[in-house]
Every structure is written in C-alpha cells, then in structure tokens.
Structure 1
Amino acid sequence: MPLPSTVLSAILLCGSAIVLSACNNGQPLPIASGGSFTEAKISSRTLERPQPKLSLEEQLDWAVGKSFAKQAWVSAPASTTARDGLGPIFNANSCVACHKANGQGLLPDHGPGLILRIAPVGLHHKNYGEQLQDHATLSSKAEGQIAWREVSLSSPVNDEPLNLAYRQYFISEPRYGNTSDMAVSARLAPALIGLGLLDGIPDETVIALSDPDDRDQNGISGRVAMHWDEQRQRMRPGRFGWKASQPSLLQQIALAFSQDIGIRSPIYPDANCPGNAINCDKELSQDHNAEPEISAKLLAAVTAYIGNLAVPGIQNNPDLQAGYQVFINIGCANCHIPATEILISPFSMQPLTGDTTFRKETIYPFSDLLLHDMGSALADSADTDNTPASEWRTAPLWGLGLRSRQEDNTRLLHDGRADSVHTAILWHGGEAKVSRKNYLQLNEQAQTTLLNFLKAL
C-alpha cells in the first residue's frame, strides 16, 4: 500500500522517512547515523568495533561470534572440529575473507570479495547452481574461475553522452562444459555495518513505503521483494542483498555460510551441491546426513556479532547540511530515504514482541530497502534472484565516506564498476534518471557540495 500523498510530500520536503508521520521540519541532519550504534571516532578499525551499548556479558558473547566470523574454516575431518566442514567447493574460507575488516569486498584482481551469480539460462547452468564456486578443497575441483573483459559503452548512457566503462564478467576454466551461453552477474560483498539495524526495521514500514504502480505519479515505483522466512514460516519483505533477496539477517548469514563457504546450518542443512552436477564428490556424500557444521547457537552468535557492529558517525564537514538539502532537492531522497524509526533489542535484534528491553531508535541508513528499476545501463545480463535484471535494492549510504576515501581503490555499485561517487551517480537510470539529470544540471559548486556531503556519510 503506498503512502498517502501528504506523507510523501513531507518526505520530499524534509527528507525524512516516515513511520509515524513525523518530519524533521528543516532540522539539520544528525551525525549519529546509527542511533545508539554510532561510533563517532573514525579510524581504520571503526568497522570492527561493537556498538557501544553492549554490557560486559554481551561483549563476551559478541566476541564468540566474532571468532567464528574471523577464523578460517577447514575441510573435514580435522582436529579443529568446531571449524571443520569447509567446502568442498566454496568462494572463501571465512566471513572476513570477503569482508576484510568488515568492509566491502575487493575486485578479483586485488583479492576476494566478488562472486558471480548464475542466471537460470544456458545449457549447463544447472550444473553450477546459483553461484560460481571458484575454490575447492584438495579432494575436489573448483567450478571455474572469474574472468572479465573491459567494455566501453559505445552509446550514450541513459540517453546522455557520458564516457563510462565496466567489466563484463564470464567464467573461465569451466568444470562442466562450455559456459559461453550462460549469463552471469557480478556481486561485490558489501560492508557489514548496520545490518542489525536494518533487521530491526518493521516489515510494515518497508511495505508502507512501496508504490509499485506509481500511484502518486512521481516517477518512483519501488516495490517490496517478498521472500520466505524460514524461522517465522511466512513471507516477509526482503531487505538484504543487492536484490533484497533475504528477509532476515540470520537467514542472510546462513545463506552466506552455505553458498560462500560450503558450511551447512539448521536453516540450510543441505550440502552445497548443484542438482545436475557431474560429480558431487565423496566429501559431500559422506556428510550429507551428518549434523550441520555450524549449530543454531553458533549461527546466532555470528549473527549477533555482525548485527551489533558499530555504525560510523556522519562527519560534520562544512558542506554537510547544505549538501543534505541539495540531496533532497534533486530527488535523491525519494529512494535513498534518510531516516527511519525502528524497534530494536540491544543484543537479540528481534522485532517488538512486548518485551520491555526493546526501544525505539531513529537511524539514518538512506534507503527504503525497496527494489527500483535502475535502467538498462545498470541492468544485469539476465534476471537473477527472481528479480528483473534492471531492478536493484536501494543501497544504504551510511559508511559511504569510508568506502570512497581511497580514490585509487573506490568500488561502488553492485559490481564495483564505479570508481567514485560521481561516477556511481552517472550510472543511475530508470527511476533515478530525473535525479541524475538534476545532478548534471547543478553548477560546479553545488555538485561539489553534494559530493562532500555524500563523502561525509
């Protein structure tokens, strides 16, 4: 159900996400983007710190989850039984292998952190499953390797003559036959900050913000991606992943253990073995009926660790508030909605159930968590995750400053194709076309003010 026009007008005027119809009435943007989860001191270790409100006992539990997220898993059988069961095919041997220091992944020529999703097209796609596994244990063989070619766009991007290029990824050294007819899409591992807060956004909030038929005729038609929640046994709005394909943080982490590391859990108890693969390997068949390699308790600990990471505070630079108003005025806040109200437990991160330990928080993720058509230039090579190729979840912007701090190593958008915030904006099309056009019509000073604001997040 779309928001009433009066509420939508309030969003456009003041840039505030509406849960209880409150508007910031021109108030300046607070710098505590993560509410009580905010870490004001910015350093190379900011993304590895716990949110400040954890008790001593909770910090001990948090540390247990941290150890299982950071330590490398090994193939079974091993003397380290608590961390064996890796693979036999996988992308990484730990969470932080792809999310170094809890940040985003690297491009494949610099390290791990980018995977290839495989669309359900092509003769051999069923041999590979949903995701290319480019590593394997000694007893097995990788499904292939990630390769790419540089592509320069020969036609205007989003109807404008912009000089942009990207990497067109494909599978090299394929294990199961010719893959030339298979469509793949690169996915860059996102930073892990703020995920527990996104988990605390009520389903009703996400649903209320949707307007799939653009009934208000503002050119924005965000829609909810509904997915099955294994724990709650019902359909819920997806909010995690580039395609909003997972409804809870616990399920997102369980999926990563399954598809990225090859670790079975109570949520995904089956071995990571594509249905029509030529050889599922002895290692897979031997542990098919065994207990999951990560228990429900340890999976919850890893989830609590990631969900209770601190969020870097907004840096109060001279262009912050002026840039915030430019951001709103050119329409970016239509999808990258700045604020939302959540109900959250300081540690368990579960929605409100009447427990008095839950509290309200206002956070500033700059996202509506909805799927939007971003135009043909940014589209996948094919539909994936039961989502049209051109649709993407609105990426949260908190921590953008840290992600774009190193000019020679900035990698933005779903496949890291943008090497600057400016370039990332240029790739926006579809529902964001008007906002991008407004950005290009800004004078140099206003553009700089906006970019400085974004780099402060």
Structure 2
Amino acid sequence: MLRFLKAARYSGPMVFIVASLAIGFLVAPPQKTEIGTAELSSPHLNVTPRTDAERARIADITAMPATFTKPEAFETNPAGAATVRARKTADAFSQPSGNISFERELDFKVGNGLFKKLWVSSPSSTLASDGLGPLFNARSCQRCHLKDGRGHPPEGSEDDAVSMFLRVSVPAAPEEDISEIEAFLLSAGEEPLRVRPDPNYGGQLQDFATAGHKAEYRLEVTYEEFDVPLSDDQTALLRRPTYSAEDLGYGPLAEGAMLSPRVAPPMIGLGLLEAIPAEDILALADPEDRDGDGISGRAQMVWSFEHDRPMLGRFGWKAGAPTIREQSASAFAGDIGISSPIFPDPWGDCAAGQSACREAPHGDGDVRKTEIDSEGLDLVTFYSRNLAVPARRDVDDPQVLRGKAVFHETGCASCHRPKFVTDRLDDQPEQSFQLIWPMTDLLLHDMGEGLADNRPEGRASGREWRTAPLWGIGMTEQVNGHTQFLHDGRARSLLEAVLWHGGEAQASRDAVVEMPKADRDALIRYLESL
C-alpha cells in the first residue's frame, strides 16, 4: 500500500515533466565544447542515449525565462520527482529521494547508518568498525556533514575545526614523473599545473590522532574586517581570513607548501548532479570567452582511480572528484583514515615519511580486506546519491520574483545555471530523466584574487572554483544553525558571499553594489527561497 501511495503522489510531476519535454521548438544551446565527450563520458554504465528530437525538447524546457511575472512550470520541484516537501526542522536535508521505492529506502537507511557510524582505532573487538586513522579529521562522515548540511570554520578557541580542514600541496619537482591526468592534459595540448602532496603531511592536514600518535596540526583562523560601501547609504562589513597551521606535529611544512581551507559542503542533490549528461556541462564551457560575455568557464578534468581513465570532475570545491563513489572513498581515506577498494592503503593520508602511522595496527586484517568493503561503500554512495532536495518556498512571492529577475539581469545565471535534464538511467530510477534546478554549471571559474587560495588542483588554478549549487541554500540556518558561506565559511550572510565574488563575477558583484537597496533585498530574498 505504501509503495502505491508513493507512486501516486509523484506520478503527477513525472507525467508533467515528460509532457513538457514533448513540446517546444527551440534549438539546442550554442555548442562551446572544449573537450570531446568521448574522453569525459558519463560515470554511469546504463545510460539510454538521447535522440535529436529529445535534445531539442530539452533545450526548450531548460531555456532561460523570458519574463519574471510568475513562476516557471515545475519551479517548486527543484529535484523533479525526487523533490521532498520542505520540512521546518533541522532534518530538512536528511530525507530520501521523494520518488524512492519502499525497497530501496531500506538501502538508504542502512547507508545512513554507515554515514553516521563512529569508527574506532585498531586493534579492536569491534572488527566491523575498526581502522580509524591513525590520523584523522573526524570519526564519522556525519561529524563533518552535520545533518547532511554545510560545515563552518571554528569560532573561538573552544570550537574544534571538525567540519573544516586545510588541503596542502607543494610544487612538483621538474624531474618527478608525471601523473596520469598530467599526461592526459599534455596530450590535449595543455601545460598542467603540477603539484604533489606535502612529503611530511600528505594531501591534507589532520587535527586528530589515535592514542600514541600526534595530531598533525591545529587550525588557527584570524579575521580582518573591512567595510564595503553600497548604494542608498548602505554598508556591508566583510571579514578577510588568514589561516595558519599551528602546533605542527611532524616537522615543518615543505618549502613552497600551499594551504587551502575547505568547509564540508551540503550533501543534497548529489545523485542528480552526477546524472547531468557530460555533454550538457561541456557545452557551457567557453575558456576563451569566444562569445564575449565575460564568462569563461572551464571543465575540470580528473583521473578516476575507480574507472582508470580521465573523467569530468563534478564534486568538491574545485570539482576534484568525478563520481559520488570516488568522492566518498576519498573522504573515507583522507578524513577518517579508512581504506576502501578504491583507495586501499590502510593508513589513509599518512605521508611516506610518517612511518609510525603507516606501521600502526590497521583494520584490514580480517575478511574485509579493506576497512570499508565494496558493499559498505556502495551503501554510503547510495545514501549520498539519494539525499533529497527540499521543495522551493514562496516562488510566487512578488519580492522573490523581482529577485529572480535581478539574478538574471545581473548575470548571476551565467554561472549558476538554473536548469538541466538528467540522463535516462536504467538502474537509477530516482535520478532518471528529471528536470532539475541546481543553479550551477559545474564548471571552473576565475573568482578573483579575493577568493584565491593560490593552490592549483587538477586543471583548476589557484583562482578558480567550481560554481557551487545553490539549491537549499536558504535553509542553511534552519539545518545547521549558521549562515556561513563560500568554500571557507568567511561570508556570514548571503550578501557577504555575493560581495566576495570577483574575477569573472566582478561585473555582477559591482551591479549588486550599485543597484537600489530594494533590488538588492529582493535578490537576497530570492536566494533565501531556493
């Protein structure tokens, strides 16, 4: 009976979406592809190819709106049939896809259990849960992604940086062997930005350690505040952060070490982002800005250790991971020190010089072979793939509609691309052929010197970041009890986040500064409705 009720509840939106895709006559968007999709094909195995007729219908329904006097069709359902109602509690980001079946919801709940699971150090009588560290940032996925939402920087000396850490890398020496992705970029005619993990600390700094080991560091953040004048005699107060790695436990960082702060991003809608066709993302890339609009997004290219080939990067602040499964395995290794079939080293991110860490007891000596096995990783991936996006609120509010118009008029939608239609996926019904509104193009953009971390990652320079999805951003305070945004949480409000935009977004940022206060308020009100 429950399965029937769920099917009945969501059959309406699914039918209407398909019906909408069946009409319209707009041609496909201009092709600005810089990389062939053969090299960066879908991460999914069971994709039904689109016909030319379908491409034309999809171009119609994903076209930018012509007017802003009323909401667009299906705008209240940003995740298509996978959308869930917007709860008024802190659990708003922790719901399964709205169109998930009764049987598959059980896998979601088991995956949720593994996501919350507290890992313990080895040796332990709890064989299914040992293998923590020895160096780590958190004991569970949930500790960083609290309530499946957004992390924050530490506030004061008593607040651990449990949902934030520092990535670290050093320039590669000229004589070092090139990596797989560097070889691919060279073959494509690019000069890769070559970096390597710090020889003493690895690829990220861990601020916790198991008994008998020293933590790698303590994160310290200081801020310098400054005023930004706005129109209508308004002023915004921004804070510029400085990060330092204090109390280093394993000697100094290597010469030229580059640090990049990262807060845990929200988990909602990841499966739908993964289901966006690579060709649709690549069609938006315009690295030479040939159309002259000032926006020159680039596709991130990464090496997939699971698929052993170059793939389009989609996940992480610089799009450094190609799939949810690989991103999950990378987080297990780097954040918790847990090995997996993709990253089987039992010591996680311990550098070659950290011999005590590498030689410590680990949790891979039993039948699992790795500390989380393939089945466990699949369940965490399924859970992460199916964390639902809540429905939009107040889409017909006049101030929200005015804010939406301002969002488009100022060019925000050039990078925060509103709509896509996902692939037809035979084995992922929740994500298959959905009209979604993630508000991102998943491309890398130069965000200016103010947001630069000066640390390359893959194809991304020290000034480039992936366009962050905006769906659910207005519920951050409800879910996580704060309003701190951007990759390092420096912005204490949505307006501050906008004012930090530079580089390709400088013109849009300046327009927000100069527009009447009523329009600026409407823009923020629109973002809060997402």
Q: Same fold (TM over 0.5)?
A: yes
Contact 1:47 1:193 (8 Å CA) reproduced = yes
Question: Unaligned regions of 5+ residues in structure 2, if any?
Answer: 1-27, 34-54, 174-196
The alpha-carbon distance between structure 1 residues 305 and 420, as it changes in their structure 2 partners (threshold 3 A), is same
Contact 1:171 1:179 (8 Å CA) reproduced = no
Per-residue Cα deviation, 1:31-90 (whole angstroms, up to 9, x for no partner): 111111212232221111111222221111111111100121111222222221111111
Contact 2:485 2:493 (8 Å CA) reproduced = yes
Contact 2:122 2:361 (8 Å CA) reproduced = no
Question: What TM-score results when the alignment is normalised by the length of structure 1?
Answer: 0.88
Query: 1:358: how far off?
Result: 7.4
Partner of 2:334: 259
Structure 2 letter corresponding to 1:89:
L
SS of the residue 1:219 aligns to: coil
Query: 1:154: how far off?
Result: 10
| Pairing 1:21-100 to 2, within 5 Å after superposition | 21-22=59-60, 23=63, 24-26=65-67, 28-29=71-72, 30-43=75-88, 44-100=90-146
Per-residue Cα deviation, 1:305-358 (whole angstroms, up to 9, x for no partner): 111111011111522222111101110000000111102549x54xxxxxx997
| Pairing 1:197-212 to 2, within 5 Å after superposition | 197-212=272-287
Contact 1:238 1:245 (8 Å CA) reproduced = yes
Q: Share of identical aligned residues, percent?
A: 39
Q: Which structure would you say has the larger Rg?
A: 2
The alpha-carbon distance between structure 1 residues 310 and 240, as it changes in their structure 2 partners (threshold 3 A), is same
Higher alpha-carbon deviation: 284-293 or 72-81? 284-293
Question: Unaligned regions of 5+ residues in structure 1, if any?
Answer: 8-16, 350-355
Query: 1:404: how far off?
Result: 4.7
| Pairing 1:300-449 to 2, within 5 Å after superposition | 300-316=378-394, 318=397, 319-343=399-423, 345=425, 349=428, 359-404=432-477, 409-449=482-522
Q: Tell me which of 168, 179, 184 is aligned to 2:242.
A: 168
SS of the residue 1:327 aligns to: helix
SS of the residue 1:126 aligns to: coil
2:376 pairs with 1:298:
yes
The alpha-carbon distance between structure 1 residues 134 and 407, as it changes in their structure 2 partners (threshold 3 A), is closer
SS of the residue 1:168 aligns to: strand
SS of the residue 2:406 aligns to: helix
Q: Tell me which of 203, 208, 211 is aligned to 1:135.
A: 208
Structure 2 letter corresponding to 1:312:
P
The alpha-carbon distance between structure 1 residues 230 and 6, as it changes in their structure 2 partners (threshold 3 A), is closer
The alpha-carbon distance between structure 1 residues 298 and 83, as it changes in their structure 2 partners (threshold 3 A), is same
Query: 1:144: how far off?
Result: 1.2
Measured in 2, the distance between the counterparts of 1:409 and 1:362 equals 30
Contact 2:84 2:388 (8 Å CA) reproduced = yes
Higher alpha-carbon deviation: 55-64 or 447-456? 55-64
Contact 2:134 2:357 (8 Å CA) reproduced = no
SS of the residue 1:312 aligns to: coil
Measured in 2, the distance between the counterparts of 1:217 and 1:37 equals 37
Contact 1:47 1:311 (8 Å CA) reproduced = yes
Query: 1:287: how far off?
Result: 5.0
The alpha-carbon distance between structure 1 residues 399 and 357, as it changes in their structure 2 partners (threshold 3 A), is closer
Partner of 2:46: none
Higher alpha-carbon deviation: 41-50 or 326-335? 41-50
Per-residue Cα deviation, 1:120-176 (whole angstroms, up to 9, x for no partner): 15999311111001111113221111112223469999xxx9753222111111012
The alpha-carbon distance between structure 1 residues 216 and 119, as it changes in their structure 2 partners (threshold 3 A), is same
Contact 1:37 1:309 (8 Å CA) reproduced = no
Contact 1:227 1:237 (8 Å CA) reproduced = yes
Structure 1 letter corresponding to 2:313:
G
SS of the residue 1:321 aligns to: helix
| Pairing 1:211-250 to 2, within 5 Å after superposition | 211-250=286-325
Per-residue Cα deviation, 1:345-380 (whole angstroms, up to 9, x for no partner): 49x54xxxxxx9973111000000000000001100
2:147 pairs with 1:104:
no
Query: 1:106: how far off?
Result: 2.7
2:81 pairs with 1:4:
no
Contact 1:187 1:414 (8 Å CA) reproduced = yes
Partner of 2:252: 178
Per-residue Cα deviation, 1:269-307 (whole angstroms, up to 9, x for no partner): 123221233543432679599811111111010010111
Measured in 2, the distance between the counterparts of 1:141 and 1:357 equals 44
User: How many pairs were matched up?
Assistant: 437
